């Protein structure tokens, strides 16, 4: 059991997300914000390549912190969780209502099988403020709802956004700077809207864990490989972060200290 009952496996199963409080303290939040500001110095939305993220011991170490890994173990019901190489930090990313792309659509029926367990983790480096944003909103228990005919059609979020997204099921995920929100892969969520600019950048650190399952782990990674090339109006564009993840191999693509810490924590790293 985790110390906090609101971060239990039961709560994740019921609500679709839980919050791990205070994974970074105030000083560490300030340090992480400085690092992210340095790495993501351009304007607009930006995200780090996994290789750049892993090269920073402080940022990469967050993913393997004892409190994070033990919570993930409890939440997945799995002693040997699998970490994917999609670790990153992002600046000023705002996305509309969605279920994370690899878990919806005609190839994603397997995410409804009883043994499927995958959690996405977002550590936010500012409070989630109802006026200035800073984190995510979620539709409570939407991991139990299908937006894609249980993996048989393209997902449809517009109707859900207008209905459950405007209902009492919509919740502002009440994260404070340094908290991690852990959500079920099937949860429908959106960036908390900014009603008034706060004069600060929005930063978050993101990573995901799953149960070890050769087929599910491979499907997730191969979907990332497919998504790394987007074709619109006949023009193909490579998404560098996703293309890099598809090329990564364990252990050679990971810093030796990171591979060792993962092994010591009984965390397996999955690559294609």
Ligand X SMILES: O=C(O)CCC(=O)C(=O)O
Cα-only R_g, the chain: 18
Q: Which residue is nearest to ligand X (CB)?
A: 191
CB nearer ligand X, residue 123 or residue 265:
123
Per-position x/- string for 109-128, each x denoting binding to ligand X as judged by CB under 6 A, each - no binding: -------------x------
- The answer to the question of residue 206 lying near ligand X (CB under 6 A) is yes
Three-state DSSP at 73 gives helix
Q: Name the pairing type of β-strands 82-83 and 46-47.
A: unpaired
CA gap 103, 201 in Å, rounded: 29
Instruction: Name which position in 13, 30, 55, 93 contacts ligand X (CB under 6 A).
Output: 93
In the chain, beta strands by DSSP E: 17-20, 46-47, 82-83, 88-91, 118-124, 136-139, 170-172, 180-184, 189-191, 203-210, 229-232, 235-238, 268-269
Instruction: Name which position in 105, 155, 178, 204 contacts ligand X (CB under 6 A).
Output: 204
- The answer to the question of residue 191 lying near ligand X (CB under 6 A) is yes
Instruction: Name which position in 136, 185, 187, 210 contacts ligand X (CB under 6 A).
Output: 136
CA gap 182, 16 in Å, rounded: 9
- The answer to the question of residue 30 lying near ligand X (CB under 6 A) is no
Question: Tokens 């993913």, residue?
Answer: 63
Q: Compute the half-sphere exposure of residue 176: CA atoms within 13 Å on the CB side of its CA.
A: 7
Instruction: Name which position in 140, 143, 170, 189 contacts ligand X (CB under 6 A).
Output: 189
Give the shortest CB-130-to-ligand X separation in angstroms: 14
- The answer to the question of residue 179 lying near ligand X (CB under 6 A) is no
Positions touching ligand X (CB under 6 A) are: 93-95, 100, 122, 136, 189, 191, 204, 206
């Amino acid at each position: 059991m985790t110390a906090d009952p609101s971060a239990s496996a039961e709560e994740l199963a019921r609500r679709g997300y839980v919050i791990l409080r205070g994974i970074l303290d105030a000083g560490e939040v300030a340090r992480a914000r400085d690092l992210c500001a340095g790495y993501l110095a351009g304007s607009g939305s930006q995200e780090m390549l996994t290789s750049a993220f892993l090269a920073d011991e402080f940022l990469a170490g967050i993913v393997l912190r004892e409190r994070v890994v033990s919570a993930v173990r409890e939440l997945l019901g799995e002693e040997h969780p699998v970490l994917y190489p999609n670790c990153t930090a992002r600046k000023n990313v705002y996305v509309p209502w969605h279920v994370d792309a690899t878990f919806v659509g005609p190839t994603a029926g397997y995410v409804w099988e009883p043994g499927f367990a995958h959690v996405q983790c977002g550590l936010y480096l500012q409070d989630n403020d109802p006026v200035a944003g800073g984190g995510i909103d979620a539709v409570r228990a939407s991991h139990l709802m299908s937006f894609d005919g249980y993996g048989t059609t393209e997902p449809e979020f517009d109707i859900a956004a207008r209905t459950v997204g405007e209902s009492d099921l919509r919740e502002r995920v009440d994260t404070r700077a340094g908290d991690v929100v852990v959500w079920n892969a099937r949860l429908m969520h959106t960036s908390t809207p900014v009603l008034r600019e706060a004069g600060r950048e929005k930063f978050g650190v993101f990573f995901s864990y799953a149960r070890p399952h050769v087929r599910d782990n491979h499907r997730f990674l191969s979907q990332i490989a497919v998504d790394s090339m987007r074709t619109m109006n006949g023009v193909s564009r490579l998404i560098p972060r996703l293309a890099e993840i598809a090329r990564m191999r364990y252990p050679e693509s990971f810093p030796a200290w990171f591979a060792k810490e993962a092994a010591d924590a009984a965390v397996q790293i999955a690559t294609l």
